[in-house]
C-alpha cells in the first residue's frame, strides 16, 4: 500500500517540483519504505511506497516502462496479477510486482484493462506518447483518490492533507458540504469538506489531455450484478457463496510481508479468520480490543475463534485513559473529518506494533449480507404503504403522537418517514442514516430552506428502476454512502497512519456481484446474516453465530460525559469562536447530552468535536 501525488500541466506554476516533494513528505506515513519522483514538461508524479509484494528496489515507483513511454504511480493490490501476467506473455517483465502488470495491461488493452483488474487500487498513469493522464479508482472504492482542478492544472493525491500542504490548494471550507456533514457525519463524494477538492468516484476513471477532460465509469453494480442465482436452489447458492468467499480470502493472503487479521468475535471477522486459517500454511496473527466495561467487551468471543483456529492472538486492553491519551494522535491522523475514525486507529496501531504490515478485515459483511437493522426496517415498510392513503394532516398528527408517547431519536425518524411524500426507499433511506434532523439543522445552521437532495442522489433512476432484489438496493445505498464515505475512508486513513495495509475480502467484486443477485427470501433467517452463516456452515462456532450483535463500538456515552468532557468543551469552544454554527444551539445540544436527554446521542456531540478539531488543525478558512 502506498501514496500517490502529482501535478498535471505544471509549467504554469512556480516551483512545482518542490510542491510534489512536499506532498510526498506529507503522505510519507503511507509509504515509509521509499519515496520517488518523475518529472517531464507535462507532469510530475510522486510516490511513497509501503512494500508488500516484490520488495525489490526495481519495483519502486513511479514505475517507468521499458520503452519509457508509460509512467505509473500506483496504490493498492491487484490480486489476479499472476493470471493477467500469463495473458501478457509478449511483454518482457523485469519485476515480480503487480505494478508492472498494470503497465503491461494498459499497453495491451488500453483503458479497457480496468475492468480486468481484481483488487483495490487508485493510480495515476501517464501515457507520454499520447500526452494523456489516466486517474482511476477500484470498483468498490476501497482506496481513495482526490483531485483539485484550477486553470487547466490538476493536482491529485491519496490524501486531502497532502493537497493542502502543497501550497497550491486554497484552504477554504466547502460551505455547501456542512449540511451533508452534520446529517451524516461525513461528506459524500464527489464533494469533500474543502472547496474545490473532489473525490474520484469508485469504479471510475478520469482522462485528461490538452483536448479533453472526462470522468467515466468502468464498473457499476447496478448493471453488473449476477442473475446466476435466479435459476439455482438455495443449496446451490450456499455452495457458490462459500466457494466465492473462501477464494476471496485466499487470494488476499498473497504477501511478501508478515500479515494478520482483525478479530472482534463477530460473524464477519470470525468468518474471515476461519477462512484465512484454513487456507494458510502459516499461523494467523489476530488482534482484538478488550474493554474494562464488560458490556462493550467482545474479547471472550474472539478468544473462542482464536482457540479453534490456533491463531497467535493478541488482546489489546483499553482503558478510558488509554483512549484519552491517544485522542490527539488519532484526530491528527484524520484526513477527512468523520465520527468513526478512532476505532480503527486503535487496532491498526496494535497490529503494526506487533510487526504486521498487512491485515485482513471483515468490513463489508453487514452491508453485503443485510446485517444492519436498517435492512429489516426498510423491508418491513414494504407492506405499509397503506399508511399513505391518509391525508398529510392525519399522518402529521400520527407522527406527533408517536413522538409524544415515546420521545427519542427513533421516534423522530419514524415521524419524519410518515411525513414523506412517498413511502419509497429513495425517500426514506436517508432519514435512517441522519444524525441531525431537518429541524436540528435549522436551529444549528440557520438554514431557512434545507436541501433535501442528498449529494449521492438517492432518487437515481438507475436504482429505482433496477430489477435487482430490494435488499440489494439497500445494500447498494449502504455501500455507496456509509460504507464508502465513512467506514472505508476511516479504515484507509487510520491504518495508513501506521503504514498498515488493510484488505477486505467481503468486498471482493465477484462475491458482491453474485450476492446482489440473490433473492430477498434467502437473506433473512433465524441468525444474523443468515445467508453467510448457512453458506460457510461449521466454519463458525455456535457461540459466535448466536451471540448478541455489538459491533466494534467504544463506550462513548460514559467517556464523553466523564473522561472526555473537558476535551469536548475545548473543541466546542473553538467551533463557537469561528461562528460557523449557532453558538446557543451548540451549548443547548451539549447541555442536553450531559443531562441524559434521549434525543441527544454521543455521536452528535462527537461529530461537532471532530469537525472543530479538523478545521482548526488544518487551518481551514471559513
Would you report the helix, strand and coil content of the chain in percent, each value rounded to 5? 50, 15, 35
Torsion sign over Cα 89, 91, 94, 98: negative
Q: Within 13 Å and on the Cβ side, how many CA atoms surround 361?
A: 23
As a whole number of angstroms, the distance between CA 306 and CA 286 comes to: 7
> Given the C-alpha cell 493542502, which residue does it identify?
164
pLDDT (tens digit per residue) in 273-288: 999 999 998 899 999 8
Catalytic residue among 2, 39, 166, 288: 2
50 Cβ contact partners less than 8 Å away, ≥ 6 residues apart: 1, 2, 30, 31, 32, 33, 357, 499, 501
**Domains along the chain?**
2-219 (3.60.20.10), 223-370+482-545 (3.40.50.620), 373-472 (no CATH), 556-617 (no CATH)
- Does position 584 have pLDDT exceeding 80, yes or no? yes
The pLDDT value recorded for residue 439 is: 82
Q: 429-488 pLDDT, tens per residue?
A: 888 888 888 888 889 987 555 565 555 454 455 676 778 999 999 999 999 999 999 999
Across 359-363, average pLDDT? 95
Q: How confident is the model at residue 79 (pLDDT cuts 50, 70, 90)?
A: very high
Among 72-76, 370-374, 379-383, the range scoring the smallest mean pLDDT is 379-383
Q: Please, what sign has the CA dihedral across residues 173, 178, 184, 187?
A: negative
Q: How many angstroms separate the CA atoms of 497 and 510, rounded? A: 29
Q: At what angle do helices 509-516 and 470-478 cross, to 10 degrees?
A: 140
**How many angstroms separate the CA atoms of 155 and 288, rounded?**
39
Which pLDDT score is estimated for 322?
A: 74
Higher pLDDT, 400 or 562: 562
Q: 504-520: per-residue pLDDT in tens?
A: 999 999 999 999 999 99
Cell numbers found for residue 148 = 483539485
Distances in Å between the Cα of 370 and the Cα atoms of 126, 268, 515 are: 40, 12, 11
Identify the burial level of 92 via C-beta atoms within 10 angstroms of its C-beta, where 0-12 means exposed, 13-18 middle and 19 or more buried: exposed
Quote the CA–CA distance of 77 and 453 in Å, as a whole number.
35
Put residue 174 in one of left, alpha, beta given phi > 0 → left and psi -120 to 50 → alpha: beta
Strands (E), 138-233: 146-150, 153-157, 197-199, 204-208, 213-217
At residue 501, does pLDDT exceed 60?
Answer: yes
**How many percent of the chain have pLDDT more than 70?**
91
Quote the radius of gyration of the chain (alpha carbons, Å): 24
Residue 601's pLDDT is 87
Residue 235 has pLDDT above 90, yes or no: yes
- Based on the residue annotation, tell me whether 39 is a catalytic residue of this protein: no
Span 565-584, average pLDDT? 94
69 compared with 527, residue with greater pLDDT? 69
Burial zone of 68 (CB within 10 Å; 0-12 exposed, 13-18 middle, 19+ buried): exposed
Residues ≥6 apart with Cβ < 8 Å to 461: none
At residue 462, the pLDDT reads: 64
pLDDT digits (tens, 9 = 90+) for 137-179: 999 999 999 999 988 899 999 999 999 999 899 999 999 899 9
Residue from 142, 78, 147, 140 nearest 113 by CA: 78
* Apex 373 CA angle, 472 and 242, nearest 5: 50
Partnered with residue 514 across adjacent β-strands are none
Amino acid at each position: 500500500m502506498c501514496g500517490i501525488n502529482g501535478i498535471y500541466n505544471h509549467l504554469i506554476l512556480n516551483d512545482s517540483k518542490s510542491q510534489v516533494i512536499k506532498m510526498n513528505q506529507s503522505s510519507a506515513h503511507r509509504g515509509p519504505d521509499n519515496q520517488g519522483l518523475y518529472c517531464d514538461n507535462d507532469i510530475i508524479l510522486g510516490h511513497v511506497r509501503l512494500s508488500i509484494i516484490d520488495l525489490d528496489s526495481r519495483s519502486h515507483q513511479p514505475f517507468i516502462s521499458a520503452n519509457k513511454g508509460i509512467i505509473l504511480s500506483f496504490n493498492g493490490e491487484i490480486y489476479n496479477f499472476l493470471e493477467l501476467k500469463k495473458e501478457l506473455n509478449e511483454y518482457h517483465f523485469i519485476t515480480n510486482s503487480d505494478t508492472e502488470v498494470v503497465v503491461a495491461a494498459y499497453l495491451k488493452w488500453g483503458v479497457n484493462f480496468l475492468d480486468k483488474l481484481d483488487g483495490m487500487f487508485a493510480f495515476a498513469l501517464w501515457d507520454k506518447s499520447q500526452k494523456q493522464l489516466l486517474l482511476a479508482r477500484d470498483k468498490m472504492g476501497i482506496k481513495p483518490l482526490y483531485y483539485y482542478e484550477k486553470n487547466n492544472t490538476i493536482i491529485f493525491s491519496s490524501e486531502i492533507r497532502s493537497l493542502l500542504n502543497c501550497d497550491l490548494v486554497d484552504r477554504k471550507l466547502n460551505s455547501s458540504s456542512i449540511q451533508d456533514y452534520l446529517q451524516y457525519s461525513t461528506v459524500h463524494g464527489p464533494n469533500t469538506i474543502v472547496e474545490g477538492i473532489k473525490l474520484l468516484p469508485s469504479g471510475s476513471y478520469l482522462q485528461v489531455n490538452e483536448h479533453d477532460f472526462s470522468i467515466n465509469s468502468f464498473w457499476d453494480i447496478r448493471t453488473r450484478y449476477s442473475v446466476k442465482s435466479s435459476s439455482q436452489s438455495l443449496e446451490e447458492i450456499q455452495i457458490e457463496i462459500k466457494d466465492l468467499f473462501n477464494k476471496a480470502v485466499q487470494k488476499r493472503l498473497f504477501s511478501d510481508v508478515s500479515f494478520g487479521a482483525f478479530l472482534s468475535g463477530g460473524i464477519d471477522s470470525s468468518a474471515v479468520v476461519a477462512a484465512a486459517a484454513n487456507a494458510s500454511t502459516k499461523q494467523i496473527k489476530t488482534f482484538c480490543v478488550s474493554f474494562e466495561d464488560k458490556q462493550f467487551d467482545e474479547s471472550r468471543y474472539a478468544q473462542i475463534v482464536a482457540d479453534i483456529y490456533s491463531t497467535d492472538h493478541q488482546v489489546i486492553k483499553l482503558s478510558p485513559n488509554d483512549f484519552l491519551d491517544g485522542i490527539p494522535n488519532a484526530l491528527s491522523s484524520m484526513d477527512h473529518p468523520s465520527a468513526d475514525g478512532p476505532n480503527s486507529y486503535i487496532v491498526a496501531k496494535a497490529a503494526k506494533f506487533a510487526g504486521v504490515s498487512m491485515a485482513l478485515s471483515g468490513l463489508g459483511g453487514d452491508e453485503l449480507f443485510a446485517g444492519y437493522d436498517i435492512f429489516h426496517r426498510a423491508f418491513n415498510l414494504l407492506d405499509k404503504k397503506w399508511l399513505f392513503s391518509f391525508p398529510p394532516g392525519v399522518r402529521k398528527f400520527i407522527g406527533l403522537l408517536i413522538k409524544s408517547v415515546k420521545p427519542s431519536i427513533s421516534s423522530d425518524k419514524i415521524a419524519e418517514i410518515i411525513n414523506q411524500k412517498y413511502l419509497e426507499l429513495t425517500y426514506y433511506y436517508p432519514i435512517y442514516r441522519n444524525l441531525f434532523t431537518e429541524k436540528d439543522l435549522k436551529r444549528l445552521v440557520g438554514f431557512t430552506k434545507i436541501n433535501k437532495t442528498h449529494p449521492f442522489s438517492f432518487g437515481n433512476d438507475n436504482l429505482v428502476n433496477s430489477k435487482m432484489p430490494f435488499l440489494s438496493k439497500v445494500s447498494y445505498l449502504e455501500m455507496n454512502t456509509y460504507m464508502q464515505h465513512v467506514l472505508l475512508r476511516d479504515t484507509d486513513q487510520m491504518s495508513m497512519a501506521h503504514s498498515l495495509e488493510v484488505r477486505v475480502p467481503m468486498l471482493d467484486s465477484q462475491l458482491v456481484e453474485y450476492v446482489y443477485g440473490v433473492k430477498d427470501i434467502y437473506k433473512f433467517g433465524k441468525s444474523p446474516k443468515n445467508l453467510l452463516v448457512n453458506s460457510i456452515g461449521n466454519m463458525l462456532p455456535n457461540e459466535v453465530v448466536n451471540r448478541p450483535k455489538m459491533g466494534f463500538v467504544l463506550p462513548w456515552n460514559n467517556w464523553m460525559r466523564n473522561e472526555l468532557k473537558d476535551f469536548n468543551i475545548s473543541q466546542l469552544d473553538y467551533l463557537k469562536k469561528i461562528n460557523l454554527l449557532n453558538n446557543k444551539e451548540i451549548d443547548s445540544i451539549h447541555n442536553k447530552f450531559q443531562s441524559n436527554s434521549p434525543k441527544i446521542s454521543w455521536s452528535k456531540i462527537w461529530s461537532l468535536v471532530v469537525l472543530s478539531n479538523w478545521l482548526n488543525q488544518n487551518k481551514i478558512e471559513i
